[in-house]
Amino acid sequence: MTDKGKNSPISRYKKIISISNDLASTLDLDILLKRIVKAAAELTEAEAASILLYDERLERLYFQVASQYDDPLLRGLEVPVKDSIAGWIVKNRQPIIIHDAKQDERHYEQVGQSLGISIESLLGVPLIAKDKASGALEAINKREGLFSSTDQEALMTLGAQAAVAIENSRLFQQFDLISEFVHELRTPLASLRTATHLLTHPEITNEKREQLASNIQRETIRLAEMSTDFLSVARLESGRSQFQVDDFDLSDLLNECFQLIIDQAEESGLFCNIEITDDLPNLKGDRDKLKQALLNLLSNAIKYSHEGGKVLLKAEALPRQILISVSDTGIGIPQKYVHRLFSKFFRVPGSERLAQGTGLGLSIAKRIIEGHGGDIEVESEVDVGTTFTIRLPVTP
């Protein structure tokens, strides 16, 4: 064997070192997983590679990403631990080479089918960090010949690096989220403490008592809403949230969202309109999650507007995509903050005086839209208004 070939031991070794450096440079789980599968396919000269993550507590395995065949809607798809090769790898903490997956009774067909890959051969290794099996990394379909023990060694080495990077990214995300959560809890908890303390004073008037009770009610509702949002973010970030994909009528969903906000808008003295073309195709996706995303845009348009303003919900079909926009004639967003809008917990300074919020709505919406292969953009001018535009792909 020479050391000069493209996949000689030395060039593989170099490749692994450069990949590990690359992996260590990001804490973003999405980016990380994509880099890992791309590297795994290259390193083993396979057609594709995929990653599944294991939740030890729930004993569940979730498909994450595959190189080449990325379908965001499959992210988080649950794969049976007992009846899958990945499950076998995680449980036995051992690598495996399979030359003919179709003949293997552990082979779980659904993921390959949904991705449109026919899985012939497979090399899989466990992802183990700090003695915790966190998932499986699989190279699929060797381009030429058979997966070898050298391929296996290379993938094991990559897997070990990948597992550490994944674990770090998860810990970082959890820590980030928990510390923000605790921070956000303080304000409503402080109001509750004050209100309940005042209620114990015997001399307070009935009027005051009612006011305190309604404060308590408002703050508890807010706490409940915040908890739901935090859970949404945590699930979307961890890759454990599976989209419930359905075929549904988009104009129906848009009308429903519009009906849900119209009262609130009119109460705030706003004029609302909906303009949707009648050629909107059916959409394939998670209706409830898309509804959550749209409702946040609409409620933002209402929250950050002045009396007499206008809110418009628009949708049109373009070739192979749908354009949905929510515009308002509200306060607008200073240009220097625009790039931070979709970050967790970000609120434009001063927003708290206008409306309550946690600053999570847009980051959740972005994850949902991107999870459907789409994107979301914003255009805004201070004191003129804001337009959020969503683009969603439509597969014929």
Q: Which residues of 67-89 are buried (b: 16+ CB within 10 A; e: fewer)?
A: bebeebbbbbbebebeebbbbbb
From the list Mg ion, ligand ATP, none, which binds 294 (C-beta under 5 to 8 Å, kind-based)?
none
Nearest distance, CB of residue 178 and ligand ATP, angstroms: 17
Q: Give the H/E segment covering residue 194.
A: helix 149-199
Among 309, 330, 361, 385, which residue interacts with Mg ion (rule: CB under 5 A)? 361
Nearest distance, CB of residue 256 and ligand ATP, angstroms: 19
Nearest in space to 163 (alpha carbons), one of 189, 137, 181? 137
* Alpha carbons 159 and 266: distance in angstroms, whole number: 56
Check binding of 341 to ligand ATP (CB under 6 A): yes
- Scanning 2-10, 89-97, 293-301, 347-355 for contacts with Mg ion by CB under 5 A, the matching segment is 293-301
Task: Please report, for residues 227, 229, 247, 366, the alpha-carbon distance to residue 286 in angstroms, rounded to integers and kept in the order given.
Answer: 21, 17, 8, 14
* Alpha carbons 81 and 88: distance in angstroms, whole number: 7
- Scanning 16-24, 31-39, 145-153, 345-353 for contacts with ligand ATP by CB under 6 A, the matching segment is 345-353
Nearest distance, CB of residue 182 and ligand ATP, angstroms: 16
From the list ligand ATP, Mg ion, none, which binds 287 (C-beta under 5 to 8 Å, kind-based)?
none
- Scanning 154-162, 189-197, 230-238, 360-368 for contacts with ligand ATP by CB under 6 A, the matching segment is 360-368
Residues of this chain, 101-130, that bind ligand ATP according to CB under 6 A: none
Nearest in space to 250 (alpha carbons), one of 374, 104, 143, 94? 374
Total residues at the site for ligand ATP (CB under 6 A)? 22
Nearest residue (beta carbon) to Mg ion = 361
* Alpha carbons 198 and 207: distance in angstroms, whole number: 13
- Scanning 26-34, 205-213, 241-249, 356-364 for contacts with Mg ion by CB under 5 A, the matching segment is 356-364
280 secondary structure, DSSP code: P
The β-bridge partners of 55 are: 60
CB closer to ligand ATP out of 131 and 383:
383
From the list ligand ATP, Mg ion, none, which binds 87 (C-beta under 5 to 8 Å, kind-based)?
none
Among 301, 315, 322, 392, which residue interacts with ligand ATP (rule: CB under 6 A)? 301
CB closer to ligand ATP out of 137 and 324:
324
Check binding of 300 to Mg ion (CB under 5 A): yes
Nearest distance, CB of residue 315 and ligand ATP, angstroms: 17
* Alpha carbons 396 and 388: distance in angstroms, whole number: 25
Nearest distance, CB of residue 69 and ligand ATP, angstroms: 32
Among 76, 159, 330, 371, which residue interacts with ligand ATP (rule: CB under 6 A)? 330
Check binding of 390 to ligand ATP (CB under 6 A): no
Q: Are strands 310-318 and 271-276 parallel, antiparallel or unpaired?
A: parallel
- Scanning 33-41, 295-303, 342-350, 367-375 for contacts with Mg ion by CB under 5 A, the matching segment is 295-303
Total residues at the site for Mg ion (CB under 5 A)? 3
- Burial (0-12, 13-18, 19+ Cβ within 10 Å), 117: middle
CB closer to ligand ATP out of 181 and 346:
346
3-state SS record for 361-385: HHHHHHHHHHHCCCEEEEEEECCCE
Under 8 Å CB-to-CB from 248, ≥6 apart: which residues?
282, 283, 285, 287
Check binding of 232 to Mg ion (CB under 5 A): no
Q: Which residues of 124-162 are buried (b: 16+ CB within 10 A; e: fewer)?
A: bbbbbbeeebbbbbbbbbbeeeebeeebbebbebbbbbb
Helices within 239-350 (DSSP H only): 250-267, 287-303, 335-338
The residues that touch Mg ion, with contacts defined as CB under 5 A, are: 296, 300, 361
The residues that touch ligand ATP, with contacts defined as CB under 6 A, are: 229, 296, 300-301, 304, 328, 330-333, 341, 346-348, 351, 357-362, 386
